[in-house]
Chain A
Amino acid sequence: ETGVTQSPTHLIKTRGQQVTLRCSSQSGHNTVSWYQQALGQGPQFIFQYYREEENGRGNFPPRFSGLQFPNYSSELNVNALELDDSALYLCASSQGQRTYEQYFGPGTRLTVT
């Protein structure tokens, strides 16, 4: 087990709604990265949080936002959901800003109808 947990496991939302996904990092890790993985594709980097601050962002619109808490757990918020947001959302934890070995959680499968 990697120790990274995510909730919920599955989620169904309708277009225009808002969603919050949660991630608990592995013990001792202070960095959380979020990825979106569409079906049949590789994960795409959304953003990373290090010590409660955003530390790099991929090519995603501002309606994708996040938070990191003092215990290093993290949230991913997506506003105004679109059909194309349907994907597996993965969080990965690591130690430090520089990515070496990332430990991925099981993911949240989001379906937007």
Chain B
Amino acid sequence: GQQVMQIPQYQHVQEGEDFTTYCNSSTTLSNIQWYKQRPGGHPVFLIQLVKSGEVKKQKRLTFQFGEAKKNSSLHITATQTTDVGTYFCAEIPSGGSQGNLIFGKGTKLSVKP
């Protein structure tokens, strides 16, 4: 079935360093969403990308959707301790049943002050 693969599984950075997580699929994605889950919390929607080659920015976060719509990335510039959490990409499968999200396994980010 459809599955999005996320790498790396874990990332430890020093505060102020940059961080990137990647989401890859063997099939063309209709769209990709990104969520953040703080430790002990629940997923919080960050953004949705739909267009090939799309780039969106939210302050220090930059989201990209690949030209072939088979991969996506989330880049955080100058990490802060508030960025700690697990970042998930999720896709809405094209065709089939409506309304479900297929999540990757996430990248767990820890930031050392």
Binding site for B on A (CB under 8 A): 2, 31, 33, 35, 40-45, 48, 50, 55-58, 90, 92, 94, 97-107
Do the beta carbons of B44 and A42 come within 8 Å of each other? no
Say what secondary structure dominates the interface of chain B: loop
- Complex-state Cα separation, A31 to B98, whole angstroms: 11
Check B92 for interface membership: any CB of A closer than 8 A.
yes
How many residues in B have their beta carbons less than 8 Å from beta carbons of A? 21
Task: Report the minimal beta-carbon distance from B99 to chain A, rounded to whole angstroms.
Answer: 4
Do the beta carbons of A99 and B42 come within 8 Å of each other? no
- Given contacts A42-B106, A99-B92, are A107 and B99 in contact (CB under 8 A)? no
Check B63 for interface membership: any CB of A closer than 8 A.
no
Check B43 for interface membership: any CB of A closer than 8 A.
yes
Residues of A close to B88: CB separation below 8 A? 42-43
Check B85 for interface membership: any CB of A closer than 8 A.
no
Check B102 for interface membership: any CB of A closer than 8 A.
yes
Do the beta carbons of B105 and A48 come within 8 Å of each other? no
Do the beta carbons of B99 and A98 come within 8 Å of each other? yes
